[in-house]
Structure 1
Protein backbone atom coordinates (compact mmCIF):
# COMPACT_ATOMS: atom_id res chain seq x y z
CA UNK A 1 0.00 0.00 0.00
CA UNK A 2 1.28 3.48 -0.86
CA UNK A 3 2.65 5.46 2.07
CA UNK A 4 3.46 9.14 2.65
CA UNK A 5 7.22 9.77 2.52
CA UNK A 6 9.06 12.40 4.60
CA UNK A 7 12.57 13.59 5.34
CA UNK A 8 12.96 15.20 8.78
CA UNK A 9 15.96 17.43 9.55
CA UNK A 10 17.26 18.65 12.90
CA UNK A 11 19.89 21.34 13.45
CA UNK A 12 22.28 21.76 16.41
CA UNK A 13 21.50 24.48 18.97
CA UNK A 14 18.62 25.65 16.79
CA UNK A 15 16.89 29.00 17.30
CA UNK A 16 13.81 30.38 15.55
CA UNK A 17 15.84 33.28 14.09
CA UNK A 18 17.92 30.74 12.18
CA UNK A 19 14.89 29.14 10.49
CA UNK A 20 14.80 31.32 7.32
CA UNK A 21 18.46 30.68 6.52
CA UNK A 22 18.03 26.97 7.24
CA UNK A 23 15.03 26.82 4.90
CA UNK A 24 16.95 28.61 2.16
CA UNK A 25 19.83 26.18 2.53
CA UNK A 26 17.64 23.08 2.23
CA UNK A 27 15.63 24.53 -0.64
CA UNK A 28 18.81 25.43 -2.53
CA UNK A 29 19.97 21.82 -2.34
CA UNK A 30 16.60 20.66 -3.59
CA UNK A 31 16.79 23.16 -6.46
CA UNK A 32 20.16 21.78 -7.55
CA UNK A 33 18.68 18.30 -7.90
CA UNK A 34 15.35 19.51 -9.32
CA UNK A 35 16.93 21.70 -12.00
CA UNK A 36 19.03 18.75 -13.18
CA UNK A 37 21.59 21.03 -14.80
CA UNK A 38 19.04 23.21 -16.60
CA UNK A 39 19.83 26.93 -15.95
CA UNK A 40 16.80 29.09 -15.19
CA UNK A 41 14.52 26.08 -14.83
CA UNK A 42 11.19 26.69 -13.06
CA UNK A 43 12.01 23.63 -10.96
CA UNK A 44 14.59 25.69 -9.09
CA UNK A 45 11.93 28.16 -7.90
CA UNK A 46 9.14 28.23 -5.34
CA UNK A 47 5.68 27.35 -6.64
CA UNK A 48 3.70 28.38 -3.55
CA UNK A 49 4.20 29.54 0.04
CA UNK A 50 1.91 29.37 3.09
CA UNK A 51 2.14 30.24 6.77
CA UNK A 52 0.07 28.33 9.33
CA UNK A 53 -0.58 29.47 12.91
CA UNK A 54 -0.85 27.22 15.99
CA UNK A 55 -1.53 23.87 14.22
CA UNK A 56 -2.64 22.34 10.92
CA UNK A 57 -6.35 22.79 11.70
CA UNK A 58 -6.03 26.57 11.40
CA UNK A 59 -6.38 28.50 8.15
CA UNK A 60 -3.15 29.96 6.77
CA UNK A 61 -2.43 33.57 7.65
CA UNK A 62 -0.33 34.01 4.51
CA UNK A 63 -0.49 32.38 1.09
CA UNK A 64 1.07 33.14 -2.26
CA UNK A 65 1.07 31.16 -5.49
CA UNK A 66 3.80 31.96 -7.98
CA UNK A 67 3.64 31.86 -11.77
CA UNK A 68 6.93 30.56 -13.17
CA UNK A 69 6.04 29.78 -16.78
CA UNK A 70 5.02 31.63 -19.93
CA UNK A 71 1.88 32.91 -18.16
CA UNK A 72 3.98 35.22 -15.98
CA UNK A 73 2.95 38.82 -16.75
CA UNK A 74 5.71 40.78 -15.05
CA UNK A 75 9.18 40.24 -13.70
CA UNK A 76 7.66 40.39 -10.20
CA UNK A 77 5.85 37.12 -10.93
CA UNK A 78 9.15 35.28 -11.26
CA UNK A 79 11.36 37.42 -9.02
CA UNK A 80 9.17 36.63 -6.04
CA UNK A 81 9.55 32.90 -6.63
CA UNK A 82 13.33 32.99 -6.20
CA UNK A 83 14.03 30.92 -3.10
CA UNK A 84 15.59 33.71 -1.04
CA UNK A 85 12.80 36.16 -1.92
CA UNK A 86 9.97 33.72 -1.23
CA UNK A 87 11.39 32.70 2.15
CA UNK A 88 12.06 36.30 3.18
CA UNK A 89 8.48 37.35 2.38
CA UNK A 90 6.80 34.37 4.07
CA UNK A 91 8.95 34.57 7.21
CA UNK A 92 8.86 38.35 7.58
CA UNK A 93 6.94 37.84 10.81
CA UNK A 94 8.60 35.00 12.72
CA UNK A 95 6.54 33.47 15.52
CA UNK A 96 7.19 30.49 17.76
CA UNK A 97 3.76 28.99 17.06
CA UNK A 98 3.85 29.11 13.24
CA UNK A 99 4.86 26.77 10.44
CA UNK A 100 6.23 28.03 7.11
CA UNK A 101 5.51 25.80 4.13
CA UNK A 102 7.02 26.10 0.64
CA UNK A 103 6.01 24.08 -2.39
CA UNK A 104 8.58 23.20 -5.03
CA UNK A 105 8.61 20.66 -7.86
CA UNK A 106 10.94 18.20 -9.48
CA UNK A 107 10.61 15.66 -12.27
CA UNK A 108 9.98 12.04 -11.34
CA UNK A 109 9.05 8.95 -13.26
CA UNK A 110 5.46 8.21 -12.24
CA UNK A 111 3.52 5.00 -12.94
CA UNK A 112 0.30 5.13 -14.89
CA UNK A 113 -1.81 2.00 -15.19
CA UNK A 114 -2.35 1.69 -18.93
CA UNK A 115 -4.18 -1.60 -18.68
CA UNK A 116 -4.81 -4.60 -16.49
CA UNK A 117 -1.22 -5.85 -16.76
CA UNK A 118 0.93 -3.06 -18.16
CA UNK A 119 2.17 0.02 -16.31
CA UNK A 120 3.36 2.95 -18.39
CA UNK A 121 5.83 5.40 -16.85
CA UNK A 122 5.78 9.13 -17.54
CA UNK A 123 8.32 11.79 -16.55
CA UNK A 124 6.09 14.28 -14.75
CA UNK A 125 6.40 17.26 -12.35
CA UNK A 126 5.97 16.07 -8.77
CA UNK A 127 5.12 18.31 -5.84
CA UNK A 128 7.37 18.54 -2.75
CA UNK A 129 6.55 20.56 0.38
CA UNK A 130 9.37 21.92 2.55
CA UNK A 131 8.17 23.13 5.96
CA UNK A 132 9.96 24.93 8.76
CA UNK A 133 8.45 24.64 12.25
CA UNK A 134 8.38 27.18 15.05
CA UNK A 135 9.13 25.52 18.41
CA UNK A 136 5.57 25.94 19.71
CA UNK A 137 3.70 25.01 16.52
CA UNK A 138 1.36 22.05 17.01
CA UNK A 139 2.52 21.56 20.62
CA UNK A 140 6.19 21.35 19.70
CA UNK A 141 5.77 18.74 16.96
CA UNK A 142 9.23 19.65 15.59
CA UNK A 143 10.60 17.10 18.06
CA UNK A 144 9.05 14.37 15.90
CA UNK A 145 8.87 16.19 12.54
CA UNK A 146 12.24 17.96 12.59
CA UNK A 147 13.03 21.66 12.56
CA UNK A 148 12.47 21.29 8.82
CA UNK A 149 10.40 18.53 7.20
CA UNK A 150 10.34 17.62 3.52
CA UNK A 151 7.11 15.97 2.32
CA UNK A 152 7.70 14.00 -0.89
CA UNK A 153 4.13 12.75 -1.27
CA UNK A 154 3.35 9.06 -1.74
CA UNK A 155 6.32 6.68 -1.88
CA UNK A 156 5.02 4.90 -5.01
CA UNK A 157 7.70 6.33 -7.39
CA UNK A 158 10.42 4.71 -5.24
CA UNK A 159 8.93 1.47 -3.92
CA UNK A 160 6.13 0.49 -6.30
CA UNK A 161 4.66 -2.67 -4.79
CA UNK A 162 4.99 -4.91 -7.81
CA UNK A 163 7.33 -7.89 -7.77
CA UNK A 164 7.25 -8.39 -11.54
CA UNK A 165 8.75 -5.21 -12.97
CA UNK A 166 10.06 -5.13 -16.51
CA UNK A 167 13.42 -3.59 -17.44
CA UNK A 168 11.90 -0.20 -18.26
CA UNK A 169 10.06 0.05 -14.93
CA UNK A 170 13.16 -1.06 -13.01
CA UNK A 171 15.23 1.65 -14.68
CA UNK A 172 12.62 4.34 -13.89
CA UNK A 173 12.48 3.40 -10.21
CA UNK A 174 16.27 3.35 -9.96
CA UNK A 175 16.42 6.88 -11.41
CA UNK A 176 13.86 8.07 -8.85
CA UNK A 177 15.77 6.45 -5.98
CA UNK A 178 19.03 8.00 -7.15
CA UNK A 179 17.42 11.44 -7.19
CA UNK A 180 15.97 10.99 -3.70
CA UNK A 181 19.30 9.83 -2.28
CA UNK A 182 21.21 12.61 -4.07
CA UNK A 183 19.04 15.25 -2.40
CA UNK A 184 19.26 13.59 1.03
CA UNK A 185 23.04 13.30 0.88
CA UNK A 186 23.40 16.86 -0.45
CA UNK A 187 21.44 18.22 2.51
CA UNK A 188 23.56 16.19 4.90
CA UNK A 189 26.75 17.52 3.33
CA UNK A 190 25.88 21.19 2.89
CA UNK A 191 23.20 22.21 5.41
CA UNK A 192 24.89 21.71 8.78
CA UNK A 193 22.25 19.36 10.16
CA UNK A 194 22.78 17.35 13.33
CA UNK A 195 20.52 14.46 12.29
CA UNK A 196 18.07 13.37 9.62
CA UNK A 197 15.39 10.72 9.23
CA UNK A 198 13.78 9.42 6.06
CA UNK A 199 10.48 7.91 7.16
CA UNK A 200 6.97 6.93 6.16
CA UNK A 201 3.68 7.84 7.80
CA UNK A 202 2.85 4.24 8.64
CA UNK A 203 6.13 3.82 10.47
CA UNK A 204 7.27 1.09 8.08
CA UNK A 205 11.10 1.18 7.84
CA UNK A 206 11.75 2.92 4.53
CA UNK A 207 15.44 2.04 4.37
CA UNK A 208 14.56 -1.64 4.32
CA UNK A 209 11.94 -1.07 1.63
CA UNK A 210 14.41 0.84 -0.55
CA UNK A 211 17.15 -1.75 -0.10
CA UNK A 212 14.73 -4.56 -0.87
CA UNK A 213 13.48 -2.75 -3.96
CA UNK A 214 17.02 -2.05 -5.23
CA UNK A 215 18.02 -5.66 -4.66
CA UNK A 216 15.08 -6.81 -6.76
CA UNK A 217 16.07 -4.36 -9.50
CA UNK A 218 19.72 -5.46 -9.69
Structure 2
Protein backbone atom coordinates (compact mmCIF):
# COMPACT_ATOMS: atom_id res chain seq x y z
CA UNK A 1 0.00 0.00 0.00
CA UNK A 2 1.29 3.47 -0.90
CA UNK A 3 2.49 5.52 2.05
CA UNK A 4 3.39 9.18 2.53
CA UNK A 5 7.14 9.75 2.96
CA UNK A 6 8.66 12.58 5.03
CA UNK A 7 12.05 13.84 6.18
CA UNK A 8 11.99 15.83 9.43
CA UNK A 9 14.90 18.13 10.30
CA UNK A 10 15.81 19.67 13.64
CA UNK A 11 18.42 22.39 14.20
CA UNK A 12 20.48 23.10 17.34
CA UNK A 13 19.53 26.25 19.29
CA UNK A 14 17.05 27.09 16.55
CA UNK A 15 15.85 30.71 16.40
CA UNK A 16 12.65 31.49 14.51
CA UNK A 17 14.17 34.62 12.97
CA UNK A 18 16.60 32.41 11.03
CA UNK A 19 13.80 30.32 9.44
CA UNK A 20 13.98 32.02 6.00
CA UNK A 21 17.73 31.48 5.74
CA UNK A 22 17.40 27.91 7.01
CA UNK A 23 14.64 27.11 4.53
CA UNK A 24 16.67 28.56 1.67
CA UNK A 25 19.60 26.37 2.67
CA UNK A 26 17.51 23.19 2.50
CA UNK A 27 15.97 24.27 -0.81
CA UNK A 28 19.43 24.84 -2.27
CA UNK A 29 20.50 21.30 -1.36
CA UNK A 30 17.41 19.95 -3.06
CA UNK A 31 18.18 22.03 -6.15
CA UNK A 32 21.67 20.54 -6.25
CA UNK A 33 20.18 17.05 -6.55
CA UNK A 34 17.25 17.92 -8.83
CA UNK A 35 19.22 20.20 -11.14
CA UNK A 36 16.39 22.76 -11.03
CA UNK A 37 16.88 25.88 -8.89
CA UNK A 38 13.35 27.20 -9.43
CA UNK A 39 10.51 27.13 -6.92
CA UNK A 40 7.18 25.97 -8.36
CA UNK A 41 4.93 27.41 -5.64
CA UNK A 42 5.06 29.09 -2.24
CA UNK A 43 2.41 29.25 0.49
CA UNK A 44 1.99 30.48 4.05
CA UNK A 45 -0.48 28.70 6.37
CA UNK A 46 -1.86 30.11 9.63
CA UNK A 47 -2.47 28.27 12.88
CA UNK A 48 -2.68 24.63 11.71
CA UNK A 49 -2.63 22.15 8.85
CA UNK A 50 -6.38 22.41 8.21
CA UNK A 51 -6.36 26.17 7.52
CA UNK A 52 -6.34 27.74 4.06
CA UNK A 53 -3.18 29.62 3.06
CA UNK A 54 -3.06 33.38 3.68
CA UNK A 55 -0.34 33.71 1.04
CA UNK A 56 0.08 31.65 -2.09
CA UNK A 57 1.98 32.15 -5.32
CA UNK A 58 2.37 29.82 -8.28
CA UNK A 59 5.39 30.45 -10.46
CA UNK A 60 5.55 30.11 -14.24
CA UNK A 61 8.59 27.97 -15.01
CA UNK A 62 8.29 27.43 -18.74
CA UNK A 63 8.99 29.36 -21.94
CA UNK A 64 6.77 32.19 -20.72
CA UNK A 65 9.20 33.03 -17.90
CA UNK A 66 12.07 35.11 -19.23
CA UNK A 67 14.79 34.83 -16.59
CA UNK A 68 13.45 32.66 -13.79
CA UNK A 69 14.52 35.25 -11.22
CA UNK A 70 11.04 35.51 -9.71
CA UNK A 71 10.99 31.78 -8.98
CA UNK A 72 14.55 31.67 -7.64
CA UNK A 73 14.94 30.21 -4.18
CA UNK A 74 16.11 33.48 -2.67
CA UNK A 75 13.25 35.53 -4.14
CA UNK A 76 10.51 32.99 -3.37
CA UNK A 77 11.60 32.58 0.25
CA UNK A 78 11.98 36.32 0.77
CA UNK A 79 8.49 37.03 -0.58
CA UNK A 80 6.69 34.26 1.33
CA UNK A 81 8.41 35.05 4.65
CA UNK A 82 8.30 38.84 4.38
CA UNK A 83 5.94 38.77 7.34
CA UNK A 84 7.17 36.21 9.88
CA UNK A 85 4.58 35.07 12.40
CA UNK A 86 5.20 32.42 15.03
CA UNK A 87 1.84 30.73 14.37
CA UNK A 88 2.52 30.33 10.64
CA UNK A 89 4.08 27.63 8.48
CA UNK A 90 5.80 28.38 5.17
CA UNK A 91 5.77 25.84 2.36
CA UNK A 92 7.75 25.71 -0.89
CA UNK A 93 7.18 23.31 -3.76
CA UNK A 94 10.03 22.15 -5.97
CA UNK A 95 10.26 19.38 -8.53
CA UNK A 96 12.66 16.59 -9.41
CA UNK A 97 12.55 13.83 -11.96
CA UNK A 98 12.18 10.29 -10.62
CA UNK A 99 11.93 7.06 -12.54
CA UNK A 100 8.36 5.82 -12.73
CA UNK A 101 6.84 2.80 -14.52
CA UNK A 102 3.71 2.55 -16.60
CA UNK A 103 2.18 -0.85 -17.22
CA UNK A 104 1.74 -1.80 -20.88
CA UNK A 105 0.03 -4.88 -22.25
CA UNK A 106 2.36 -6.49 -24.80
CA UNK A 107 2.38 -9.80 -26.67
CA UNK A 108 4.58 -11.20 -23.92
CA UNK A 109 2.16 -10.00 -21.22
CA UNK A 110 2.21 -7.02 -18.87
CA UNK A 111 5.46 -5.06 -18.93
CA UNK A 112 6.66 -2.11 -16.87
CA UNK A 113 8.00 0.70 -19.07
CA UNK A 114 10.16 3.14 -17.10
CA UNK A 115 10.39 6.88 -17.76
CA UNK A 116 11.60 9.90 -15.84
CA UNK A 117 8.60 11.83 -14.53
CA UNK A 118 8.43 15.14 -12.62
CA UNK A 119 7.51 14.71 -8.98
CA UNK A 120 6.62 17.47 -6.51
CA UNK A 121 8.39 17.82 -3.17
CA UNK A 122 7.06 20.19 -0.49
CA UNK A 123 9.47 21.74 2.01
CA UNK A 124 7.77 23.38 5.00
CA UNK A 125 9.20 25.45 7.84
CA UNK A 126 7.20 25.76 11.07
CA UNK A 127 6.72 28.65 13.44
CA UNK A 128 7.02 27.72 17.13
CA UNK A 129 3.29 28.23 17.73
CA UNK A 130 2.00 26.63 14.54
CA UNK A 131 -0.34 23.66 15.19
CA UNK A 132 0.38 23.69 18.93
CA UNK A 133 4.17 23.62 18.48
CA UNK A 134 4.03 20.50 16.32
CA UNK A 135 7.62 21.05 15.21
CA UNK A 136 8.56 18.96 18.23
CA UNK A 137 7.25 15.99 16.23
CA UNK A 138 7.44 17.28 12.64
CA UNK A 139 10.82 19.00 12.83
CA UNK A 140 11.69 22.68 12.46
CA UNK A 141 11.59 21.89 8.74
CA UNK A 142 9.74 18.97 7.18
CA UNK A 143 10.19 17.64 3.66
CA UNK A 144 7.16 15.93 2.12
CA UNK A 145 8.25 13.64 -0.72
CA UNK A 146 4.70 12.56 -1.54
CA UNK A 147 3.79 8.89 -1.89
CA UNK A 148 6.64 6.40 -1.51
CA UNK A 149 5.80 4.59 -4.78
CA UNK A 150 8.99 5.77 -6.60
CA UNK A 151 10.92 3.76 -4.01
CA UNK A 152 8.32 1.14 -3.04
CA UNK A 153 6.58 -0.24 -6.12
CA UNK A 154 2.90 -1.07 -5.98
CA UNK A 155 1.73 -4.65 -6.46
CA UNK A 156 0.74 -4.25 -10.12
CA UNK A 157 4.23 -3.08 -11.05
CA UNK A 158 5.80 -5.83 -9.00
CA UNK A 159 3.74 -8.45 -10.81
CA UNK A 160 4.87 -7.03 -14.16
CA UNK A 161 8.47 -6.95 -12.95
CA UNK A 162 8.29 -10.56 -11.86
CA UNK A 163 7.02 -11.68 -15.28
CA UNK A 164 10.50 -11.73 -16.83
CA UNK A 165 14.14 -11.43 -15.85
CA UNK A 166 14.52 -8.27 -17.98
CA UNK A 167 11.62 -6.57 -16.22
CA UNK A 168 12.94 -7.63 -12.85
CA UNK A 169 16.44 -6.29 -13.55
CA UNK A 170 15.01 -2.99 -14.82
CA UNK A 171 12.85 -2.52 -11.74
CA UNK A 172 15.80 -3.05 -9.40
CA UNK A 173 17.92 -0.63 -11.44
CA UNK A 174 15.38 2.19 -11.47
CA UNK A 175 14.44 1.77 -7.81
CA UNK A 176 18.14 2.10 -7.03
CA UNK A 177 18.37 5.31 -9.09
CA UNK A 178 15.48 6.82 -7.14
CA UNK A 179 16.98 5.73 -3.82
CA UNK A 180 20.28 7.36 -4.80
CA UNK A 181 18.46 10.66 -5.37
CA UNK A 182 16.80 10.43 -1.96
CA UNK A 183 20.07 9.58 -0.21
CA UNK A 184 22.01 12.29 -2.05
CA UNK A 185 19.58 14.97 -0.86
CA UNK A 186 19.60 13.67 2.72
CA UNK A 187 23.40 13.58 2.84
CA UNK A 188 23.72 17.10 1.42
CA UNK A 189 21.37 18.42 4.10
CA UNK A 190 23.44 16.67 6.78
CA UNK A 191 26.69 18.13 5.46
CA UNK A 192 25.65 21.69 4.67
CA UNK A 193 22.61 22.69 6.73
CA UNK A 194 23.89 22.32 10.29
CA UNK A 195 21.13 20.02 11.48
CA UNK A 196 21.19 18.41 14.91
CA UNK A 197 19.03 15.43 13.93
CA UNK A 198 16.87 14.06 11.13
CA UNK A 199 14.21 11.40 10.71
CA UNK A 200 13.04 9.75 7.50
CA UNK A 201 9.57 8.40 8.25
CA UNK A 202 6.32 7.22 6.72
CA UNK A 203 2.80 8.20 7.70
CA UNK A 204 1.96 4.60 8.63
CA UNK A 205 5.04 4.32 10.81
CA UNK A 206 6.33 1.36 8.80
CA UNK A 207 10.14 1.66 8.35
CA UNK A 208 11.08 2.65 4.80
CA UNK A 209 14.29 0.63 4.91
CA UNK A 210 12.45 -2.60 5.62
CA UNK A 211 9.93 -1.89 2.87
CA UNK A 212 12.82 -1.26 0.46
CA UNK A 213 14.49 -4.53 1.40
CA UNK A 214 11.25 -6.47 0.94
CA UNK A 215 10.60 -4.94 -2.51
CA UNK A 216 14.15 -5.42 -3.78
CA UNK A 217 14.15 -9.03 -2.63
CA UNK A 218 11.05 -9.63 -4.74
CA UNK A 219 12.52 -8.13 -7.93
CA UNK A 220 16.02 -9.64 -7.52
- TM over 0.5: same fold? yes
Structure 1 residue aligned with 2:99:
109
Structure 2 residue aligned with 1:38:
none
Structure 2 residue aligned with 1:40:
none
1:123 equivalenced with 2:80 (yes/no): no
1:146 equivalenced with 2:148 (yes/no): no
Instruction: Provide the secondary structure at the position in 1 that maps to 2:50.
Output: coil
- What's the CA shift for 1:170? 1.4
1:190 equivalenced with 2:192 (yes/no): yes
1:51 to 44, 60, 66: 44
Structure 2 residue aligned with 1:23:
23
Instruction: Provide the secondary structure at the position in 2 that maps to 1:6.
Output: strand
Q: Contact 2:168/2:219 (CA < 8 Å) preserved in 1?
A: no
CA distance in 2, matches of 1:135, 1:215: 42
Q: Where does structure 1 lack aligned partners over 5 or more consecutive residues?
A: 36-42
CA distance in 2, matches of 1:114, 1:180: 27
CA distance in 2, matches of 1:158, 1:65: 28
Q: Using a 3 Å threshold, how does the CA distance of structure 1 residues 149 and 34 change in structure 2: closer, same or farther?
A: same
Structure 1 runs of 4+ with >6 Å offset: none
1:34 equivalenced with 2:47 (yes/no): no
Structure 2 residue aligned with 1:9:
9
Q: Contact 2:171/2:219 (CA < 8 Å) preserved in 1?
A: no
Aligned residues: 208
* Higher mean displacement: 86-95 or 117-126: 117-126
Instruction: Provide the secondary structure at the position in 2 that maps to 1:110.
Output: strand
- Measured on the aligned residues, the alpha-carbon RMSD in Å equals 1.6
- What's the CA shift for 1:210? 2.6
Structure of greater Rg: 2
C-alpha offsets along residues 1-36 of structure 1, whole Å, 9 cap, x if unaligned?
01000000000111110111110110000000000x
Q: Contact 1:174/1:214 (CA < 8 Å) preserved in 2?
A: no
C-alpha offsets along residues 92-132 of structure 1, whole Å, 9 cap, x if unaligned?
11111000000000010012222473222211111000000
2:128 to 130, 135, 141: 135
Q: Contact 1:5/1:153 (CA < 8 Å) preserved in 2?
A: yes
Structure 1 residue aligned with 2:78:
88
1:208 equivalenced with 2:201 (yes/no): no
2:201 to 199, 202, 207: 199
Instruction: Provide the secondary structure at the position in 2 that maps to 1:118.
Output: strand
- What's the CA shift for 1:91? 0.4
User: Normalized against structure 2, the TM-score is what?
Assistant: 0.89
